[in-house]
Amino acid sequence: MVIFFTSEKHCVFLLVVCVFPLISLAQNVDYSPAYFGPNANPVPSFSDASIPQETTLESSSNHHFGFGDYTRNLTLLAEIPLLPQRISLKTWAALFERYQLTQKVYNKRKMEGGTLKGKANGDIYVQTRILVLKESKWKPSMLLNITLKTASGTKFKQRRYFDTPGYYFDLEVGKSIHFDNKFLNEVRVVADIGFLCWETTNSTQNDAPMYGGKLILSNDLLDFENTLSGYYGWMNNGDRPLVYAVKLTLKQAGFNSFVQYQYGLKDFPYHSIQMGASFALPILTPKY
C-alpha cells in the first residue's frame, strides 16, 4: 500500500518523524573525557613558562590503563623557535593508538561496531607560543599559548576521538628561586590559567576554564616535577577532569630522557605512564 501526502503539514510531520530519532541519537553522545579514550580531550599539559632556544623534537610511548580501558600510543612533538626564547610554533599528535576495552566500558560509552579492541590515530594540535613578559630578578616570566585542535582523530563511533574541532588559550606564569647547592639549585613554580572550547552535537559548544599548578625541583642532572591541572566544563557530563602528574627528567647536553606517571582524580578514568626523550636540534633552528 502506498500513502501519498497531499499537504505541507503532512510533509513537515514526515520530516520531523524521520529526523528526530537521529537528533536524539546524536544527543546521547557525551563529548567528554569520562566517556572517550584517553587522548580524545585530555587535560592540556603546560611547560615551565619558557621557550627553548633551539628546535626540539620529542617522542614518547604512552600507556593508559585501569578502569576497563587499556590504551597504548606513540606521541610525537616538535617545537620550533621562530624567535629564540620569544615566539615558537609547537605541534604534536597521538599516533598508532591500540586499545582494548571491557564490555562494561563499551556499554557505558554507547559504542558501536561490537568490537572491544582496535586501532586509531589521533588529532593534530598546533600551538603558537608568545613570550609576554621576560623573567627578571623580581618579575616572573609570562607566556601566552594559542592552540588549535583538529578533528582528524579516527574511530568516533568507538569513542576514541571526537569528530569535532576545538581550541584553547592559556597563560603560563613562572618564577624560579636559585640556590648555591649541588643537590638542589633551583625551585621553580609555574601557574597556568586559560579557556578551553570544543564543539559537541547540534553545534553546541562546551566552554571550560583551564587551571593548573606545577612545582619543579632541579639540579644540574635532574628535574623533578609535580603538576595538578584540569578544566571545568559547563555540561557536567564527565567534562570536569582533574589529574595529578609526577615527572622525572634526566638532563644531558642536547638530550633529555623522562618518565611520567599521571593519575586521573576526577572524570579521567586512567592511570597513565609516559616514557620518552627530547632532542635539541640546532641544525633545524631558524637563523636570524
Q: Looking at residue 27, what is its pLDDT?
A: 52
- Name the residue among 31, 77, 22, 25 with its Cα closest to residue 55: 77
CB 253 within 8 A of CB 243: no
Domains and CATH numbers, the chain: 8-284 (2.40.160.40)
Q: Looking at residue 10, what is its pLDDT?
A: 47
Q: Looking at residue 98, what is its pLDDT?
A: 98
pLDDT band with cut points at 50, 70 and 90 for residue 56: very high
Q: What is the pTM of this model?
A: 0.89
Which grid coordinates belong to 273? Answer: 605512564
3-state helix, strand, coil in the chain (%, to 5): 10, 50, 35
Q: Looking at residue 202, what is its pLDDT?
A: 76
What digits encode the pLDDT tens for the residues 184-227?
Answer: 999 999 999 999 999 998 778 999 999 999 999 999 999 999 99
Please tell me which residue, 16 or 263, carries the higher pLDDT value.
263
Phi, psi of 282 (to 5 degrees): -60, -30
> Got the DSSP string for 120-167?
E---EEEEEEEEEE---SSS-EEEEEEEEE-S----TTTTSS-SS-EE
pLDDT greater than 60 at residue 23: no
Q: What is the DSSP letter of 41?
A: S
Which grid coordinates belong to 227? Answer: 603538576
What digits encode the pLDDT tens for the residues 129-139?
Answer: 999 999 999 99
Look up residue 125 and give its amino acid.
Y
Q: Looking at residue 85, what is its pLDDT?
A: 85
Residue partners of 160: CB distance under 8 A and separation at least 6: 36, 37, 39, 40, 97, 99, 118, 120, 153, 154
Q: What is the DSSP letter of 103?
A: H
What digits encode the pLDDT tens for the residues 66-95?
Answer: 999 999 999 999 999 998 889 999 999 999
What digits encode the pLDDT tens for the residues 223-259?
Answer: 999 999 999 999 999 999 999 999 999 999 889 999 9
The residue-averaged pLDDT of 250-269 equals 96
Paired strand residues for 211:
193, 230
pLDDT greater than 90 at residue 143: yes
